[in-house]
């Protein structure tokens, strides 16, 4: 399976996915990275992918001034030559419309830094702290038209300590993301949608 990875920032999840697909244990991996895509010209993840010889594409969302349909058409055009079978969203900070998610239904997954269905959207770590949650973590799910929704494929959880802040939680959860996302992609790309559960 050919995988396109979408990001908007540093791309540490993208790096974890690529390293799992191209590293020493790649022999039995059912997927390969075919392109790294970003809406941010300056995204650190784009420079990293280029340096690794992975094709990259950038479509800046700003000139589209809120015309999501035109932005998504430009994304599709940029992806086409790379012929992806699957899309992994990895810190991609633009909402996608139902037109795009329908085209990729069952073939696009996302990682989100909360134990969904809790805390869709932003500021998940602070919200978990504010709620006094004892457990927190991250989720990989299939992407549907609704934000941070869709069938759950995997979750990794940790215990919140009394000394934790939003910053320490973000760092602890991000480490779990780097374990969870590659584990889920391996199964998903092989057509296995059974739940992956990790404890950190
Ligand atoms: C991760 O926490 C991801 O779950 C969230 O954005 C962050 C991206 O980090 N949606 P990175 O770019 O993969 O380092």
Interaxial angle between packed helices 12-22 and 44-51, expressed in degrees from 0 to 180 and rounded to the nearest 10: 20
Cβ of residue 137 lying under 6 Å from some atom of ligand 1? no
Domains of the chain, earliest start first: 1-104 (3.40.50.170), 110-200 (3.40.50.170)
Cβ of residue 164 lying under 6 Å from some atom of ligand 1? no
Closest residue (by CA) to atom 1 of ligand 1?
Answer: 91
| Residue written as token pair 């320490």 | 168
Peptide bond preceding 111 in cis form (omega within 30 of 0): no
Is the CB of residue 187 less than 8 Å from the CB of residue 194? yes
DSSP secondary structure code for residue 131 in this structure: T
- List 135's β-bridge partners, or say none: 159
pLDDT in tens, the chain (200 residues): 999 999 999 999 999 999 999 987 777 899 999 999 999 998 999 999 999 999 999 999 999 998 999 999 999 999 999 999 999 999 999 999 999 999 999 999 999 999 999 999 999 999 999 999 999 999 999 999 999 999 999 999 999 999 999 999 999 999 999 999 999 999 999 999 999 999 97
Residue 62 CB neighbours (<10 A): 10
> What proportions of the chain, in percent to the nearest 5, are helix, strand and coil?
35, 20, 40
Atom of ligand 1 at shortest range from CA of 10: 12
Measured in degrees and rounded to the nearest 5, phi and psi for residue 197 equal -130, 125
Cβ of residue 13 lying under 6 Å from some atom of ligand 1? yes
Cβ of residue 44 lying under 6 Å from some atom of ligand 1? no
Instruction: Assess whether 112 carries a catalytic annotation.
Output: yes
Ligand 1 midpoint to CA 146 (Å): 19
CA separation, residue 62 to residues 67, 107, 169 (Å): 9, 26, 31
Select which of 29, 61, 82, 112 is catalytic. Answer: 112
Tell me which residue of 88, 54, 61, 98 sits closest to 178, measured CA to CA: 88
Question: Best substitution site from 141, 158, 177 to test ligand 1's pocket, by max atoms within 8 Å of Cβ?
Answer: 177
What six digits make up the tokens of 125?
């770590």
């Amino acid at each position: 399976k050919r995988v396109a990875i979408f990001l908007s920032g540093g791309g540490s999840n993208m790096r974890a996915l690529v390293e799992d697909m191209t590293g020493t244990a790649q022999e039995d991996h059912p997927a390969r990275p075919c392109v790294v895509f970003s809406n941010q010209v300056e995204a650190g993840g784009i420079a990293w992918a280029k340096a690794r010889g992975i094709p990259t594409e950038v479509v800046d969302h700003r000139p589209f001034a809120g015309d999501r349909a035109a932005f998504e058409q430009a994304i599709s055009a940029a992806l086409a030559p790379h012929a992806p079978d699957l899309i992994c969203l990895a810190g991609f900070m633009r909402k996608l419309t139902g037109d795009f998610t329908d085209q990729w239904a069952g073939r696009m997954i996302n990682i989100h830094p909360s134990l969904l269905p809790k805390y869709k959207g932003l500021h998940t770590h602070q919200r978990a702290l504010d709620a006094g949650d004892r457990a927190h973590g991250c989720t990989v799910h299939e992407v549907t038209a609704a934000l941070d929704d869709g069938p759950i494929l995997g979750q990794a959880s940790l215990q919140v300590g009394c000394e934790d802040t939003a910053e320490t939680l973000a760092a602890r959860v991000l480490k779990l993301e780097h374990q969870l996302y590659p584990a889920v992609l391996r199964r998903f790309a092989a057509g296995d949608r059974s739940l992956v559960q990790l404890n950190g």
